Amino acid sequence: MRSDSRWFKQIKLAFSRMFHKKNRDDGVFTGGIFDEPGGEYGKAEDLADVWSLDKADSRVTEVQKKRWPRFVIAAAGFIIILLFVFLVLPRVLPRFFKNTDIALFVEVDPKLIYDDTYRVVQVSASSVMSDDDVTSRRITQVLMNEPVHFLSDDCKNGYVLIRTMDNIVGYVKADDLNTDMSSCEPDLHLFKLVVADISKRVMSHASNGTLIAEVTMNTVLYADVKRDGVYQVQLPNGESGWISSNGVIELQTDEETAVVGVRYFVSSALTMVNSTYLNGGLTKRGISINGLAYVAAGVNGIKIPRELSGQMKCGQEVQLQYDAVTGDLLLDSIMPGDLVFLCDPYDKTSKTPYELAICTETGVLLMRAPTGTSIRLCTFDSSSDIVSRIITVRRVFS
User: Are 219 and 143 contacting, i.e. CB atoms less than 8 angstroms apart?
Assistant: yes
* Phi, psi (rounded to 5 degrees) for 161: -90, 130
What are the structural domains, with CATH classification, of the chain? 2-51 (no CATH), 70-106 (no CATH), 110-255 (2.30.30.40), 258-398 (3.90.1720.10)
Rounded CA-CA distance 102/93 in Å is: 10
**DSSP state for residue 65 in the 8-state scheme:** P
| Contact indicator for 84, 116 with CB cutoff of 8 Å | no
pLDDT band at 377 (very low <50, low <70, confident <90, very high): very high
% of the chain at pLDDT higher than 70: 78
Q: In a 10 Å sphere around its CB, with 0-12 CB exposed, 13-18 middle and 19+ buried, how is residue 111 labelled?
A: exposed
- Residues 130, 223: Cα–Cα separation, whole Å: 34
Of 66-75, 278-287, 385-394, where does mean pLDDT reach its minimum? 66-75
Helix (H) and strand (E) counts in the chain: 9, 24
Question: For the CA atoms of the chain, what is the radius of gyration?
Answer: 46
Give 376's strand partners.
367
Mean per-residue pLDDT over the chain, rounded: 86
Q: Are 196 and 247 in contact (CB under 8 A)?
A: yes
Q: Is the Cβ–Cβ distance between 155 and 173 less than 8 Å?
A: no
Per-residue pLDDT of 322-373, as tens digits, reads 999 999 999 999 999 999 999 999 998 999 999 999 999 999 999 999 999 9
| Segment among 20-29, 94-103, 270-279 with least mean pLDDT | 20-29
Confidence of residue 42 (pLDDT cuts 50, 70, 90): low
Average pLDDT over residues 374-386: 94
Look at phi and psi of residue 140 and say left if phi exceeds 0, alpha if psi is from -120 to 50, else beta: beta
Query: Which pLDDT value is given to residue 300?
Result: 97
DSSP state, 184?
G
- Return phi, psi of residue 223, to 5°: -120, 155
Q: What is the mean pLDDT of residues 99-122?
A: 78
Burial environment of residue 79 by CB neighbours within 10 A (0 to 12, 13 to 18, 19 or more): exposed
Lowest-confidence segment of 27-31, 154-158, 294-298 by average pLDDT: 27-31
Residues near 125 by beta carbon (within 8 Å), at least 6 away in sequence: 141, 142, 143, 144, 216, 281, 282, 283, 285
Q: pLDDT tens digits for 217-252? A: 999 999 999 999 999 999 998 899 999 999 999 999
Is it the case that residue 273 has pLDDT exceeding 80? Answer: yes
